[in-house]
Structure 1
Amino acid sequence: MKELMASVWAEGLKVRKSKMFIITVVFFAFIASMMGLLMFVAHHPELAGRSAALSAKTSILGNGDWASFLTLLIQVILALGPIGFGMVTSWVFGREYADRVAKDLLSLPVSRMTIVISKFVIILCWCILLTLTLFLCGLFVGVAIKIPGWSSTNVLNSFLIFINSSILTFLLCTPVAFLACISRGYLLPIGFAILTLILTNFVAIGLPNIMPYFPWAIPALYSGIAGNELPQAEAISYFILIVVSIAGFIGTAAWWRFADQI
């Protein structure tokens, strides 16, 4: 346990001193602010002027109340999470390869499995922080612009859906970690994260019946944001998601254990 804690501390120190950490936190806070701005414009349509694009964006906000705004935040984390969390995972696992210091890391008196676990622990903490940043900044902006229809019960229920959707999205980061390892860099895993988001939208539009069996569509089905007209997530859906997550973790651990890292 002491070895794991020391490894987690070392990985955390790398993150705290990196520009990537600040950039991601600021970006998620910025996105929450922009969602609040859209809501503000929805309540003051004269600010949109003759901008058809801005008017179209504000038209999707429904009644412009807290229920609509919280639903929007859930949509944002479902869309932003795969890419944001994927970039975090790519950075954590690909940084040593990109900087050509992977062999130095492996020379430390720490088991490779401990290194892998510590990296996933840091990714989890980082993703939770980004998730909370998005939601709390959204709440702050919503209160600041005085969105009507506040309900503590609705906020709590939305928060639970928001967090659980983020956790399901995080579980799908393990294949990204595996690709970062085998490609020894950032590009392939980030491209894979973007591809999964594109495929999820394609499946939702063109092949909705397979959504419960497509791992990257399951968080959206869980959240209910996809709508009642689409198939609902079943027990087999979560089983598939967990299997994919475990497979990605095992693949990553096996790569670190058996592959030539030099």
Structure 2
Amino acid sequence: MNKLIVSFSVERKKFFRSKIPFITACALLLVPFIGGLFMFILKDPVFAQKVGIISAKAQIAGTADWPSYFGLLAQAISIGGLLVFGFITSWMFGREYSDRTIKDLLALPISRNTIVLSKFLVIVLWCFLLSIIVFIIGLIVGAWVDIPGYSKETLIHGLTTYFVCSILTILLSAPVSLFASIGRGYLSPLGFVLFTMVLAQIIAATGYGQYFPWAVPALLNGVAGNENIELINIAVFIVLFTSFIGFLGTLCWWKYADHH
């Protein structure tokens, strides 16, 4: 336990002394402001057109209310989170190979499982903290725009949906670490992230998204127009199983692979 604490402290310092926290925070914090802009336009499209925010040909579908706004936040964290959380994971593992620090790291008197676990802890904590910050900023922006339709029930439902989508999206970052380790750098995991994002949209459009783990978080939010997903328990189980395989695979790679 002491070695895990020490390893976690080291990984945390490496991470927060880099530019990755700032970059990822800026990327995700755009979400509530963009969502607030959409709600502002939908509230009064005529005024938005007069002040030049949108053109006369612009067509923005939807309604300006809190349920739609919470749905937009959950949708953004489900899709954008795949990219941002995947980027964080690819950096945490891929940098050791790109910076050629892997040989020094493996020479430390700490088990490789402890090193991998400490990296995952930093990833999960930062990604979850980002999700909390985005939601809080979202509430502030929504109140500032004065979105109608707020109620305690709407808040609880929106909060629950948002964080379920966030947690599932964070868990799907585990396979990215395996690709970063096998690919020994950044390109392979980032390519994998982009590939899964594109494939998730295609498979969701065909109606089989509940069987593809990277499409499940967005489907839970009703992005595909099916808010009552059939076989939802199986869909969540597939996400959990995929995450476990990614985590276990990363542990095995770091422990048994021939590192030069």
* TM-score past 0.5 threshold: yes
Q: Matched residues in 2 for 1:81 and 1:229: separation? A: 20
Residue correspondence of structure 1 range 70-89 to structure 2 within 5 A: 70-89=70-89
Unaligned segments of structure 2, at least 5 residues: none
Q: Matched residues in 1 for 2:10 and 2:258: separation? A: 23
Q: 1:215: how far off?
A: 1.3
Identity of aligned residues (%): 43
Matched, 1:144 2:148: no
Q: Matched residues in 2 for 1:168 and 1:191: separation? A: 20
**Residue in 2 aligned with 1:22?**
22
Q: 1:86: how far off?
A: 0.5
Kindly indicate whether the alpha-carbon contact (under 8 Å) linking 2:75 and 2:223 is maintained by their aligned counterparts in 1. Answer: yes
Kindly indicate whether the alpha-carbon contact (under 8 Å) linking 1:175 and 1:245 is maintained by their aligned counterparts in 2. Answer: yes
Q: Matched residues in 2 for 1:7 and 1:30: separation? A: 32
Seen in structure 2, the aligned counterparts of structure 1 residues 222 and 63 have a Cα distance that, compared at 3 Å, is: closer
Kindly indicate whether the alpha-carbon contact (under 8 Å) linking 1:221 and 1:233 is maintained by their aligned counterparts in 2. Answer: no
Amino acid at match of 1:256: W
Q: Residues 134-169 of structure 1, C-alpha deviation per residue, up to 9 Å, x if partnerless?
A: 211111111111111211221122111111111111
Kindly indicate whether the alpha-carbon contact (under 8 Å) linking 2:174 and 2:244 is maintained by their aligned counterparts in 1. Answer: yes
Matched, 1:47 2:45: no
Kindly indicate whether the alpha-carbon contact (under 8 Å) linking 2:74 and 2:166 is maintained by their aligned counterparts in 1. Answer: no
Residue correspondence of structure 1 range 173-212 to structure 2 within 5 A: 173-205=173-205, 207-208=206-207, 210-212=208-210
Q: 1:260: how far off?
A: 2.2
Q: Residues 93-113 of structure 1, C-alpha deviation per residue, up to 9 Å, x if partnerless?
A: 111111111111112111100
Seen in structure 2, the aligned counterparts of structure 1 residues 184 and 231 have a Cα distance that, compared at 3 Å, is: same
Q: 1:21: how far off?
A: 0.7
Q: 1:189: how far off?
A: 0.6
**SS at the partner of 2:254?**
helix
Residue correspondence of structure 1 range 46-65 to structure 2 within 5 A: 46-48=47-49, 49=52, 51=55, 55-56=58-59, 59-60=60-61, 62-65=62-65
**SS at the partner of 1:73?**
helix
Unaligned segments of structure 1, at least 5 residues: none
Deviates more, 1:145-154 or 1:223-232: 223-232
TM-score, normalised with respect to structure 1: 0.91
Q: Matched residues in 2 for 1:35 and 1:224: separation? A: 17
- Output the aligned Cα RMSD: 1.7
Q: Matched residues in 1 for 2:10 and 2:185: separation? A: 20
Seen in structure 2, the aligned counterparts of structure 1 residues 109 and 68 have a Cα distance that, compared at 3 Å, is: same
Q: 1:52: how far off?
A: 5.3
Q: 1:66: how far off?
A: 1.1
**SS at the partner of 2:146?**
coil
Q: Matched residues in 1 for 2:227 and 2:36: separation? A: 28
Q: 1:230: how far off?
A: 7.7
Residue correspondence of structure 1 range 228-243 to structure 2 within 5 A: 228=226, 231-243=229-241
**Residue in 2 aligned with 1:171?**
171
**Residue in 2 aligned with 1:246?**
244
TM-score, normalised with respect to structure 2: 0.92
Q: Matched residues in 2 for 1:119 and 1:234: separation? A: 30
Q: How many residues are treated as equivalent by the alignment? A: 256
